[in-house]
Structure 1
Amino acid sequence: MIGVDGEPLSAVALDALARAEVVVGAARHLEAVPVPATAERVVLGSVEAGLERLAGRRGVVLASGDPGFFGIVRLLRSHGHEPVVHPARSSVQLLFARIGRSWDDVTVVSAHGRDLRPAVNVCRARPAVAVFTAPGAGPAEIGAALDGWPRTLVVAEDLGGPGERLVTLPAREAAARDWHPLTVVLCLRDPDAVPARGWYAGGEPVPPAGGWALPDEAFDHRAGMVTKAEVRAFVLARLGPRPGALVWDVGAGSGSVAVECARLGAAALAVERRADDAARIAANAATHGVDVRVVAGEAPAAFAGLPRPDAVFVGGGGPDVVAAAAAAGPERVVVALAALDRIAPTRAALQAAGLAVDGVQLAASRFADLPDGSVRLAATNPITILWGTSR
Structure 2
Amino acid sequence: MENFKMIAKTFFGFEEILAKELAQLGAQRVEQGTRMVSFYGDKGFMYKANLALRTALKILKPIKIFKVYDEKSLYQGIQAIDWSEYINENQTFVVDVTMYSEVFNNSQFVALKAKDAIVDQFRENTGKRPSIDKDFPDLKINVHIDRDTCSVALDSSGESLHHRGYRTATNMAPINEVLAAGILLLTGWDGKGDFMDPMCGSGTILVEAAMIACNIPANVNRKEFAFERWNDWDNELFNKILDSLLNKTREYHYKMIGFDKAPSAVAKAKDNIANANLSEYIEVFNQDFFESEKETDGPLHMVFNPPYGERLDIQLERFYREIGDTLKQHYANTNAWFITGNLEALKFVGLKPSRKIKLFNGKLETRLVKYEMYAGSKRAKFQQ
> TM-score interval w.r.t. the shorter chain?
0.3 to 0.5
TM-score (norm 1): 0.37
Q: Which has the higher contact order (CA 8 A, sep 6+)?
A: 2
TM-score (norm 2): 0.38
Bigger helix share: 2
Greater Rg over alpha carbons, structure: 1
